[in-house]
Amino acid sequence: MKAIVLSAVGGTDQLVHQDFADPAPGPGQVRVELEAAALNHRDVWIRRGLYAGITLPVILGSDGVGTVDQVGEGVDVSLIGQRFWINPSLAWGDRKDVPDYKTWRILGLPDQGTYAEKIVVDSAQLEPCPSDWKAEDAAALPLAGLTAYRALFTRGQFEAGQSVFITGIGGGVSQMALQMAVAAGGKVYVSSSSDTKLENARRAGALGGVNYRQADWVKTAREMIGGEGPDIAIDSAGGKTIDDLIDLVRPGGSVVNYGQTTGTCPNLEVRRLFWKQVNLLGTTMGNRSEFRAMLKFYIERGLRPQVYRVFDLSEAGSAHDLMESGEQAGKIVLKIKG
Ligand SMILES: NC(=O)c1ccc[n+]([C@@H]2O[C@H](COP(=O)([O-])OP(=O)(O)OC[C@H]3O[C@@H](n4cnc5c(N)ncnc54)[C@H](OP(=O)(O)O)[C@@H]3O)[C@@H](O)[C@H]2O)c1
């Protein structure tokens, strides 16, 4: 098969479109012929060598949709020919609150990922994908949708009518948090480095937005949202933004973080955290029941993820360049078949 293989960390020229041995399913596993994959920022961190536990060579990619073409021992042969999403959260374990850190992995390191024509996964990772979903829309959903769903509903305990502030709305996960919060009856506000992305977010149902490049964006956001501040903030920027969000949310509100794009937070105002009784919550991806609930949410409400651009699999390097430029608003997809 053809795959994008990363044999050394570095620039986008390290993403080489080459032949790779066809994987064969073992007991309990299936082989999926992929139609499309999607990028996550994790792929860029790994490619640049900025991720823990890198083993090479590796095929990156956590998101994929496709059709089962082979099954291993003990797997129902009727799966062959059926179309599925792949849950990228591998071996989460039995607890709902946290994964089993001894077994849990994210598809696409160390396991071979979805930037390939074929992939082998455990059959328990499959969830049926309706035929009316275009491959690029379907591929865009898994990792970002799961992360946004858990951040908003499980960790954030969001309820209809609450206000939610989502940082960096150009991001893949942020876009899905916006879609889900709007669809579930939230009053949603966003931040971005780009006024165009803020305008797009308003068209997608946000009530307002602020540009986080402006020094006084917290003040602007507070005035825009009114009252005591938002009930929930959802963030992957990390860094100083964490401190800013503790400042912004209402007393007793929640800051839910799933990333540290801008690094660690050097001067956290701890007094504000306890005095305001703020819930500072971490979240990462999610479990199988959350993955299923997220898919159901999208399917039942007729939602589709926002896809910013589609590249051919062989153009994975250009797709990474685009993600690193930060120009995108929504998901970047690799078309593999058709
Ligand atoms: N823990 C998990 O399970 C999990 C899952 C997915 C992602 N992540 C992490 O979350 C982050 C985003 O991932 P992604 O795939 O959604 O990436 P992405 O699509 O590349 O989005 C990144 C976005 O971050 C925003 N951003 C950058 N600097 C910011 C700042 N100072 N303040 C606010 N926003 C800022 C930008 O928004 P604008 O373009 O609007 O300025 C940018 O578009 C990455 O660090 C990733 O590793 C973690």
User: CB-based contacts of 163: which residues, under 8 Å, 6+ apart?
Assistant: 186, 187, 188, 189, 225, 227, 230, 231, 232
Residue carrying the six token digits 């792929």: 43
Distance 125 CA to ligand 1 centre (A): 25
What's the sign of the alpha-carbon dihedral 93, 98, 103, 107?
positive
Residues 203 and 220 in one domain: yes
Cis amide prior to 57 (ω within 30 degrees): yes
299: in domain: no
Q: Is the CB of 262 under 6 A from ligand 1?
A: yes
Residues 99 and 171 in one domain: no
Distance 59 CA to ligand 1 centre (A): 22
Residue carrying the six token digits 């920027």: 237
Residues 278 and 206 in one domain: yes
pTM metric for this prediction: 0.98
What confidence tens digit (pLDDT) does each residue in 156-180 have? 999 999 999 999 999 999 999 999 9
Residues 17 and 132 in one domain: yes
Residues 135 and 217 in one domain: no
Residues 174 and 93 in one domain: no
Q: Which token pair is 195?
A: 């006024």
Residues 137 and 11 in one domain: yes
Residues 24 and 125 in one domain: yes
Which CATH number fits the domain that encloses residue 268?
A: 3.90.180.10
Distance 197 CA to ligand 1 centre (A): 14
38: in domain: yes
297: in domain: no
326: in domain: yes
Q: DSSP state, 110?
A: S
Residues 57 and 30 in one domain: yes
What confidence tens digit (pLDDT) does each residue in 42-84 have? 999 999 999 999 999 999 999 999 999 999 999 999 999 999 9
289: in domain: no
Kindly report the number of other CB atoms within 10 A of residue 95's CB atom: 9
Helix H or strand E encompassing 18: strand 15-19
Q: Which token pair is 114?
A: 């979805």
Residues 247 and 315 in one domain: no
Residues 324 and 242 in one domain: no
14: in domain: yes
294: in domain: no
Residues 248 and 122 in one domain: no
Q: DSSP state, 153?
A: I
122: in domain: yes
Q: What is the pLDDT of residue 72?
A: 98
Distance 104 CA to ligand 1 centre (A): 22
Q: How many domains does the chain have?
A: 2
Q: pLDDT tens track of the chain, all 338 residues?
A: 999 999 999 999 999 999 999 999 999 999 999 999 999 999 999 999 999 999 999 999 999 999 999 999 999 999 999 999 999 999 999 999 999 999 999 999 999 999 999 999 999 999 999 999 999 999 999 999 999 999 999 999 999 999 999 999 999 999 999 999 999 999 999 999 999 999 999 999 999 999 999 999 999 999 999 999 999 999 999 999 999 999 999 999 999 999 999 999 988 999 999 999 999 999 999 999 999 999 999 999 999 999 999 999 999 999 999 999 999 999 999 999 97
Q: Is the CB of 212 under 6 A from ligand 1?
A: yes
Q: What is the pLDDT of residue 168?
A: 97
Task: Return the ligand 1 atom nearest residue 40 CA.
Answer: 15
Residue ranges making up the domain that contains 132? 2-141+305-335
